[in-house]
Chains A and B, each alone.
Chain A
Amino acid sequence: MDFNYSDMQQMLLDSAGKLIADTYTLEDIRHQRTIANGLNEKNWAQFAELGWLALPIPEDAGGLGCGLEDVVVLSTALGRGLAVEPYVSTVVVGGHIVGALADEDARNALLGQVATGAARIALAHGEPGERFGDGGARSTQAVPSGNGFALTGRKMLVLDAPSATHIIVSATLDDGSMGLFLAPRDASGISDESYALVDGAAASDLFLDGVQVDAGALIASGSAAETLLSEASDRAAIALMAQAVGAMEGCNDVSAEYIKERKQFGQPIGKFQALQHIMADMFVSTHQARSMVYYALAHLDASPEDRQAAVSAAKVLVGTAAQLVSRSGIQLHGGYGVTDEYIVSHYYRRLLALEKLFGDIDHHVRRLAVHMFDRADA
């Protein structure tokens, strides 16, 4: 085992650290929510230029062919910077699912566009009335039509859809199984309601009314589609957990700095043991959270069951840590903690989102418990 960064990872981290320090000031972060579609074009162009968007994209599609561990390293820096660019939607989820497109030319063309920043992909899976996609068969229908399919249904809380160029839609096929379809975001028949999220990202509800796609738009169906979706979701969860760890480390640092500076009763409040113990608890949680990101990463290529169990265990732990750290961070800041003008409140909001996305603590506690108690081979 070796938990140290490779030279390449260290370089990646350093360059990310620099960009983050310059581009993600409090002012930039406060500005983010005023961007109508949630995408900061300038930052996205930088992501492309630095090769971040190409990181896990296969080399024959113009990518760098790196593994998810490199994405994790980058993600810790993105998390610290409170970056809400659609990186996970496009590169981690989109990149993985589009990688299964049968048509090699179409696949490489789109992945190439992902790598250059020209394409952005959003996953349209959740539907009204469910929690974390727990609803079983999709209500959205894919009906044979022309040389392909017509998609009809309603998709809720499609993360990063307002700035996407493409969407991946899950829908029920004629035989009752699930299919994953690729469609242009502006295909005719799609209408939307878009809104901002608590961390400054944006999402849409999509209303699909007979959206016509050709046969090649079906990326996968049946168990292959289920597998692909499950892999992509677990990868997304790992990348977002790495962001959460970065955000927690950032939150800890600003909180420690604050209580060293802030004076009450004639001394820095950091001298009060009550606050030192709060900081120590934040540290313990964050340290444990990072361990679990590595643990989940180590199970990426395990059996689907073992991978899911590992990701769920990690998601429970990282989510719980995120809550403790972000809540304590505010408490240590006193009144300043509940203003928009101190970064700690932005850490709070981002960590709230990171705890919820791709399954909250409760969701993953349940999934982990099923693996512990209900598996035939347990």
Chain B
Amino acid sequence: MHFELDPELQAFREEVRAFVRDNLPEDMKARQMAAGSIFCSHDDERAWAKILAKKGWQVYSWPVELGGCGWNAMKSFVFEDELYKGFAPPLSFNTLHMIGPIIYKLGSQEQKDHFLPLMRHGDVSWAQGFSEPGSGSDLASLRTRADLVGDKYVINGQKIWTSGAHEADWGFFLVKTDTTCKPQLGMSFLLVDMKTPGITVRTIPQINNDEHHLCEVFLENVEVPAGNLIGEAGKGWTYAKMLLEGERTGSSYIFWNKREMRRLLDMARAEKLNGNPIAQDPAFRARLAAIQAELTALEWSVLRVLADEEFTYGTAAASSVLKVRGSELQHAITEAQVDLIGEKSLRVYSVHDLLSDAGTLWPDHVVNRTNMALLTRAATIFGGAKQVQKNIIAKAAFGL
């Protein structure tokens, strides 16, 4: 055992910080600061991707020969940590960790030639079409089907919660290509141009009054070239599982949690209780200190996974720890932000105008905090709901 970070990483940290300082456009940063969300607008995501691409950092986690940076896990950790700290728009998880790896590992030469350069340059955005109205936690029960007719797949069905589908260029869909076998064996992975006739996208109004993120996708006789199949037909479930296992620490939202914790502390210094900064109030100090301790534990649990600790129990259990505590921390931090601003949390600010004025009598730090807290309720739902994570832990850690 040794617990020191490689000293070179400090220099790298400063390099990334300087890059963000010099290259992140002020208005983009201001929007990200106000929203604070784990999501950002399509335009900002694209524009920032192009800035990173110029530096060669857009697909940093990919293999070097494909434009990646070849950093080890710790260096990547420092990189993302600094981007978040500087309020850069979040990187495209789909490009970096989902469809990108799927294509470079399993895609046909044609798919690689077409999509990898687009992704490397930040020129394509993706939607993930897995969940369906009747298939959330129980993804294997999905019903959207794709029938091979000649050299085309014809897709019929419906997807839901397809984040960003209304603005995405492409979607990667999990569909049923064989209904005669065990559900997991009849699934395939298809790439779909979102402009294909037969696709209708409806945005879903959210709890924070945003209508620009979650979508429903209706597919009616959507014809997709057979060449858009990833790998082999019937292997879709295996590929999807591979995706989820390949990236084991993202679900902790550690960088987001750290940044929003910093915001929380800044708010505690700015807000007053009986005329004194809340940061000096024993009760609030105790509450925030307890959150800080959990956050520190989460960061070290992430580092243990990144440093490839050999666990005596199934690694799925260690990953689920990150998801459970990471999402609980997202709740704890946003709940504390709301409580810190007290009754001021009740005022609605438009999610569509992130730079809206706080109001003559209102401090700037209240803007959008409640919107973020409302959407953050989803943290324990998406990407494997909390109860399902606990089922996984019980099984992987104890064989229950």
Show the binding face of A for B, using Cβ within 8 Å.
Answer: 33, 126, 128-132, 134-135, 154, 156-157, 193, 195-199, 203, 205, 207, 263-266, 272, 274-275, 323, 327, 330-331, 334-335, 337-341, 345, 348-349, 352-353, 356-357, 360-363, 365-366
B361 and A362 within 8 A (CB): no
Give the number of A-B contacts (CB < 8 Å).
137
The answer to whether B370 has its CB under 8 Å from any CB of chain A is: yes
Some 10 contacts from A to B, beta carbons below 8 A apart, are: A131-B272, A156-B361, A156-B362, A198-B346, A265-B138, A331-B381, A338-B207, A339-B207, A345-B207, A348-B374
Cβ contact within 8 Å between A339 and B339: no
- Give complex CA distance A264, B134 in Å: 7
Count how many chain B residues have C-beta atoms less than 8 Å from C-beta atoms of the other chain: 50
Q: Decide if A337 touches B377 in the complex (CB within 8 Å).
A: yes
**Chain B window 348-362, contacts with chain A (Cβ cutoff 8 Å), 1 for yes, 0 for no:** 100000000001111
Known contacts A156-B361, A274-B390, A335-B378, A349 near B343 by CB under 8 Å: no
Add 8 more A-B contacts to A264-B135, A272-B387, A275-B387 (CB < 8 A): A134-B274, A156-B361, A265-B138, A274-B391, A335-B214, A341-B205, A356-B343, A357-B346
Closest 3 CB pairs of A and B: A340-B205, A264-B138, A345-B207
Given contacts A338-B206, A338-B378, A356-B345, contact A205 B359 (CB under 8 A): yes
Residues in A with CB closer than 8 Å to B179 are: none
B382 A335 Cβ-Cβ under 8 A: yes
A134 to chain B, nearest CB (A): 6
Report B140 CB to chain A, min CB distance, Å.
9
Most buried by B among A193, A335, A337, A348: A335
Cβ B283 vs Cβ A348 within 8 A = no
Complex partner residue of A338 from B137, B339, B343, B377, CB under 8 angstroms: B377
Complex alpha-carbon distance, A345 and B335, angstroms: 16
Inter-chain contact B377/A193, CB cutoff 8 Å: no
- The answer to whether A197 touches B206 (Cβ under 8 A) is no
**Does B273 contact A197, Cβ atoms closer than 8 Å?**
no
Which residues does chain B contribute within 8 Å of A203, judged by CB atoms?
Answer: 346-347
- A135–B339 Cα distance when bound, in Å, is 18
A135 with B283, Cβ < 8 A, contacts A126-B343, A157-B347, A338-B377 known: no
Quick check: B361 and A205 within 8 Å, CB to CB? yes
Please measure, in the bound complex, the distance between the C-alpha atom of A352 and the C-alpha atom of B344, giving whole angstroms.
Answer: 12
Q: Look across to chain B and name the residue whose beta carbon is closest to the beta carbon of A207.
A: B360
Once the chains are docked, how many angstroms separate the CA of A193 from the CA of B359? Answer: 8
B275 in contact (CB, < 8 A): yes
From B134, B271, B273, B375, give the contact of A263 (CB < 8 A): B134
The CA-CA distance from A341 to B211 in the complex, in Å, is 11
Q: Which residues of B contact A205 (CB under 8 A)?
A: 359-361
Report chain B residues within 8 Å CB of A135. 275
> At the interface, yes or no: B13 with Cβ under 8 Å from chain A?
no
- Name the residue of chain B whose CB is nearest to the CB of A263: B134
Residues of B within 8 A of A345 (CB): 207, 374
Any A CB within 8 A of the CB of B380: yes
Min CB gap A369→B, angstroms: 9
What residues of B have a CB within 8 angstroms of the CB of A197 in the complex?
A: 346-348
Q: Is the CB of A264 within 8 A of B137?
A: yes
B348 interface neighbour in A195, A264, A265, Cβ under 8 Å: A195
A352–B361 contact, CB under 8 A? no
Cβ–Cβ contact A199 & B346, under 8 A? yes
Contact A154 B361 (CB under 8 A): yes
In the complex, which of the residues A132, A199, A272 contacts B342, with contact meaning CB atoms closer than 8 Å? A132
Please tell me if the beta carbons of B131 and A335 are within 8 angstroms of each other in the complex: yes
B291 contacts partner chain A, Cβ-Cβ < 8 Å: no
Q: Which of B291-345 contact A (CB under 8 A)?
A: 331, 335, 338-339, 342-345
Residues of A within 8 A of B273 (CB): 131, 134
